Amino acid sequence: MLKVTLASNSFNLQQRIITWAIEPASETYSLYKMDLYRGETFAQTMPSYELVVSGLDFTNLYSYTDISISGMHLHSSRGFWYKAYIYNTYTGEAAWTREITNEPVADYATRTIWREKNLGLRERYGGRRFVVLKRKTYGDSCPVCWDTYTQRRLIDFCETCYDTGISGGFYQPISVLCTMNAALKRHQMLLWGSWETGDAVIYTFHHPHIEPKDIFVDLYNRRWEVVQVRKVEKGLAIIEQDAQVRRIPKDDVVYNVEVSGYFTTSSIYTGEKV
């Protein structure tokens, strides 16, 4: 089976150039094909991805330019993740590549920090399980509440889009380890600017990328909306994300988003790309 590694790098905001490298192997490359998928968030399962192109071969191609994102880059918090499905057309053998995005390659020191933070949250700082609901920023308009003429929602408490205007509302839940501080000192609150009673700060890994309006769910099923995010970087690579979050009232429709099964140990994301 071919082992393929993807890479993404482009200075044109209206397209992404996806390249790939293949480890040397005694295989017939012409028997292999690749389907390329794109998603808006880091996820390890397919519901968060859509097919971009299928049937790419390895004999004549070494890159693919995704121009279908043209016009979609204008949203400030929108990102693009890619993964590929590699399959042998003769034997049927298949495998997935790792998820990649357009970000700097982390150096050795940064990867060491990632590992230390992972161990710290697990063993020293009492990290707790949270579920992240990444809010959709594009997709099919909600068929229930979205009006195509006025370009706005006509009803509230819509269980089809969860009041986002986009069908589904959120991507598949992602389990992560985090720590939460809900008792900040005054000088710490001032660093965030706008602060309301009941706000808290959640500290988490470099992935998945957290953006305003994303949702954190804790073990008590309390839902917290991200107000703003501060990202700690080294060499342009993110090593930590600190998010100011605000508790959502229990009568909000976002409590209807199902997260059962995502608090298990096997589903938790450890901060390392897998």
Inform me whether the pLDDT recorded for 68 exceeds 90: no
175 and 97 belong to one structural domain: no
- Residue 124 maps to a domain: yes
Question: Token match 């408490």: residue?
Answer: 157
Give the tens place of pLDDT for each residue, 129-160: 899 998 988 778 899 999 988 889 999 999 99
114 and 244 belong to one structural domain: yes
44: containing domain: 4-101
Q: What local confidence, expressed as pLDDT, does residue 229 receive? A: 93
- Residue 22 maps to a domain: yes
81 and 113 belong to one structural domain: no
Give the tens place of pLDDT for each residue, 180-199: 988 777 777 777 888 888 89
How many Cβ atoms sit within 10 Å of the Cβ of residue 103? 15
93 and 224 belong to one structural domain: no
* pLDDT band at 45; cut points 50, 70, 90: low
176 and 265 belong to one structural domain: yes
Question: Token match 């003429």: residue?
Answer: 149
128 and 85 belong to one structural domain: no
Q: What local confidence, expressed as pLDDT, does residue 274 receive? A: 29
Residue of 225 and 12 predicted with greater confidence: 225
Predicted TM-score (pTM) of the model is 0.72
Inform me whether the pLDDT recorded for 91 exceeds 60: yes
Inform me whether the pLDDT recorded for 44 exceeds 70: no
**For the chain, how many helices (H) and strands (E)?**
2, 17
259 and 215 belong to one structural domain: yes
Give the tens place of pLDDT for each residue, 252-270: 999 999 998 887 654 454 4
Question: What is the length of the chain?
Answer: 274
- Residue 161 maps to a domain: no
CA 52 – CA 66 distance, rounded (Å):
8
57 and 117 belong to one structural domain: no
Tokens (6 digits) for 211: 């953006």
